[in-house]
Amino acid sequence: MRLISKLVFVLSLITSCGVHAHAVVTHNSLALKPVPVNQASQVELSFNSKVELDLSEIHLVSAGDKMQVIEAVPGDKPGKVLLNLPALMPGEYAIKLKVFAADGHLSEDLLRFFVKQPQ
C-alpha cells in the first residue's frame, strides 16, 4: 500500500506540468512603492524564471475593464521585468499578465493596485 501511494505521488509530480517551469511572479514593487498620481512610473516584477517578453502580453486594466497594452522591458537580472505605466488618475487598476517562461510554459496573473492621492 505504501509503495503504491508513493508511486501515485511521484506520478502526480511528473504529470503536473512542471510547476518549476512556469514563470510565476515572486515579487512586485507595487506594495513597497505605490504608483504615484498623474505621473508616469515604473513597476518592477521578479519572476522565478526567465521570461520571453516578445511572446508575453501585459495589459493595464482600468475602470470599466478597459485594457491597454503596457510596455515591458527586461530588468538587470534574468526574470526581472520593468513595466512602464502611463500617468494614472486615482482609482483601482490591475496589471494583467500573460507570460511565457523561457521554456514556453504560459502563465496568467492579475495584480491589483490602487492609485491614491497622497494623504
CB-nearer residue toward Cu ion: 96 or 105: 105
Question: Nearest distance from residue 19's CB to Cu ion, in Å?
Answer: 7
Rule CB under 5 A: choose which of 14, 17, 32, 69 binds Cu ion. 17
Cell of 15: 504529470
Q: Is residue 106 close enough to count as binding Cu ion by CB under 5 A?
A: no
In whole angstroms, give the CA distance from residue 41 to residue 34: 10
The DSSP string of 14-33 is HHS--GGGS--EEEETTTTS
Instruction: Assign 13 to helix, strand or coil.
Output: helix
CB-nearer residue toward Cu ion: 14 or 17: 17
Instruction: Assign 2 to helix, strand or coil.
Output: helix
Segment interacting with Cu ion (CB under 5 A) among 8-16, 40-48, 84-92, 103-111? 103-111
Question: Nearest distance from residue 106's CB to Cu ion, in Å?
Answer: 8
In whole angstroms, give the CA distance from residue 99 to residue 85: 18
Q: Is residue 105 close enough to count as binding Cu ion by CB under 5 A?
A: yes
Q: Which residues bind Cu ion (CB under 5 A)?
A: 17-18, 105
